[in-house]
Amino acid sequence: MIAAGHRDAAAVHGQVVRQFEADHASPGLARRHIEAILQAWDLADLVDTATLLASELVTNACRVSAGRAAVIATRVMRTDADLIIEVWDADASVPIRQDPALDAEGGRGLLLVSALSDRWAFYRPHTGGKVVWCSLDLPTLPAACSPDAALPRRRASSGTTAPLEVFDDLPLLQRVADGLQALDWDLPPGDLPRP
């Protein structure tokens, strides 16, 4: 199931679920876990942002789970257009984005999630607790650059082709050659162009 309220028609192309103990080591473990998944999915450009988002969501889940549940769970999904990170914890209370004072030591987790992700929300699964999720839009290739796009093809010529005009004016050809050689900026002056 894709995160509630998210793109309903999106096809899931990969998902990984993992449980973590609800303790201080989990955010670091989740960052390494997310990084490995994104490297395997060729999404290395999203590693920094996605690991920070996962770390914040896992930290919040561990904080609200203290004394309640021994585990939290993460699910990372790749759809046609998004990378979705979900974190489950046993506490069903609504996550609240805070606006902490400048000198406050904490309270910026959901503020960061809101700022860095393209969308975020939460839902309560029928099994209990809550899932806080966020998503990042995947980079899209222009249609002409997609791996499935057909490259343009030249039409085969019928018969033999002959040049339309032959130049035998040597001074003109020398000026053209000098002009073309001047365009090859990595050659020292006077050197012949490389074959």
Domains, the chain, in order of start with CATH, read: 12-140 (3.30.565.10)
Percent of residues, the chain, with pLDDT higher than 90: 43
Reported as a pLDDT band with limits 50, 70 and 90, residue 139 is confident
Terminal-residue alpha carbon distance, the chain: 58
Q: Cβ(88)–Cβ(24) under 8 Å? A: no
158 or 171, which is more confident = 171
Question: What is the per-residue burial (b if ≥16 Cβ within 10 Å, else e) of 3-30?
Answer: beebeeebeeeeeeeeebebeeebbebb
- Find the helix or strand (DSSP H, E) in which 59 lies: helix 47-65
Helix (H, G, I), strand (E, B) or coil at 74: strand
- Mean pLDDT confidence for 38-56: 94
Question: Residues 169-188: pLDDT tens digits?
Answer: 777 777 777 776 666 555 45
Helix (H, G, I), strand (E, B) or coil at 89: strand
Reported as a pLDDT band with limits 50, 70 and 90, residue 111 is confident
CA distances from 97 to 51, 60, 109, 110 (A): 19, 11, 8, 5
Write the DSSP symbol of residue 172: H
Structure confidence at residue 30 (pLDDT): 95
Q: Cβ(7)–Cβ(81) under 8 Å? A: yes
Q: Output the average pLDDT for the chain.
A: 78
Q: Cβ(61)–Cβ(67) under 8 Å? A: no
Nearest Cα to Cα of residue 57 among 14, 121, 146:
121
Amino acid at 130: K
